[in-house]
Structure 1
Amino acid sequence: MHCSMKLMFLIVIIRRYHYINMMKTWTEAQRYCRENYTDLATDHNINDMNELKNTVNNNPKYVWIGLKRTGVYQWKWSLGGPVKYLNWETEPSDNTDNCAVMRNGTWRQQKCDVASQFICYNDSSKAYIINTSSKKWRDAQRFCRQHHTDLINVRNQTDNQLIHNIINDPQRSVWIGLFRDSWQWSDHTDSAFRYWDSGQPDNSGSDCTAVDMNNEGKWHDVSCSGSYTFVCHEDELILIQKNLSWTEAVTYCRENHVDLVSVDSQEIQLMVTEVLHQVWTAEVVCYQNWAPGNEAAVDDCEREVRSGAVQSGGDHLWISLPGSHKLNFICRRKEK
């Protein structure tokens, strides 16, 4: 078998955590991480949080991560992802009503400690589950995460209409997964994932976030001047949310980073466990994992550039796609 075929794939961002057993303030820890890795740790979901806990391995009580309070409030989805679609009954104000309910198909600001019914989303079954018990927003979020995936994320008008039909009562107010806070990750990513302990953040003037390793890794807001060990993250890959062809993506990555990422081993193939976005990647590789009927059409890999994608489900086998197809893509940020 010849081994220099150029390929394109769907892949997820690879993030590695590094526990630093040094006592520093939050700002000192941020500086250390930026100088030696990428930044203080960012968590995009519960899988990231579990990996971080495994990295620290329950050594200290408190460990710094990269979340810090700012003076700017922004709306976010509990499930994550950008807030592109909005359907407010009236434009939201700057008051302290920092959560959102749907009522009769439109959204309203609501104080988060009001008890309301809610709708969960289950990613495994792709189902919306309405819960008729009344809970505060954060308790509803906790319930959905324990029993399903999260509170619902309303991506577009189609989602909104579907959820409106499920509620089926113009007088009923139901929590959705939209909330507003002023917390920002050190690396400025738009991750809306939060893992606060009960009663946290307590808004006591403490503007930085530490993981309580003695309490399932739940988060506490603490004074930024405290000294704790910390976790850095290192992003070997970066997602570019811009639709380009394969050739355009190669040019972009080589001009702004290092190159499009390589899928050149079984180890990296196994990392493709969740496909968050459709992205182009490419590089000279020797590892091959073609689905039946999608193998190379020629024996000499050097003779042409092949295009492909990794299937989002099943065994993540490779399939052929036209190179002119435009997708988001991932660049490699460091040399091998």
Structure 2
Amino acid sequence: MACLFLFEENSTMDHCFALRTLLFFGFILNTFSQVREFHYINMSKTWDEARQYCREKYTDLAKIESKEDISRLSAPFSYTWVWFGLRDDPQSWKDTMGSDANSWRWSTSGETGQTAYHTWSLGEPNYIDANETCVVMTGTGQWADRTCSLQRNFICFTITERNEKEYVHISAQETWSSALTYHTDLAMIENEAENAEARNANPATSEVWIGLYRVPWIWADESQTFFQPWHFSLNNNGGKQHCGTENNVHQWADEDCGARRPFICHRVLTKLTIVRIKSVTDIDWTDPAVNSQILQQLGALLTHRGWTDLKLRWKRLPSKNHKEKCAKSECKSQV
């Protein structure tokens, strides 16, 4: 097997990875990885003002995605809570369908609807106690958000041969997630006629699950977050706490975005790592398909080892004959 020798300053990773694939001598691989550098700003601003400041002076409000990121938040601060880059923007989900990463989407596709149709009950959705991210149809045929762990009957649907939706009521009491395992999928409703058909499928007047849900909280760059060290106080108090704050022991909580607080910015630093590769094989590495496959394999391996935001590309080293010709003609070798 061949080894990849990764040369990077201050690297804490192994410098030799054994791969099953043997690589052709005469190539180098340039990798560009991004590391976030964090900065505490001792200025009181609203969340929007803090984001604007960070984007002007740095890269953005702080994006914190791992314990490793938290370990780089080494600068001490005495403030109880400070802003960082997490937000659950109500303009994306309150009384609308939206298209952002934390907007409502359908279970059958995991995507927002093809239409903007919705029929929310008055005052819904309201995300009570920061815990309502699944949707029911009420007895009147209107929609409301509910805690996903509640047990309800539900409406499923299938697509007929005429490419029409057919709705079926299931009388079992299930949580929203458990209801997904029945029939084909929870009801997807994209216009008034479909909503009426789904309502007619419900013989009772009680609430039933439909296939609408959302994943709350996204970063300022609109990417989703899976690392969430929430403090117990996450509660959307007063129905207006939609921005993320962090305390001095790196616990997170929600807060009114209009409150004025210090904040954390980050700056993205790009690092170039040159990987020199050699091996013994007769595979044709000039084949673009082979090159592409190896880059995918390397990207997956390095991501597994903790590298993030990688950009990989091949660069051909000049041959020995080319170097000799350049030496004679006093040309510059382009490496």
Shorter-chain TM-score range? 0.3 to 0.5
| TM norm structure 2 | 0.42
Q: Higher Cα Rg: structure 1 or 2? A: 2
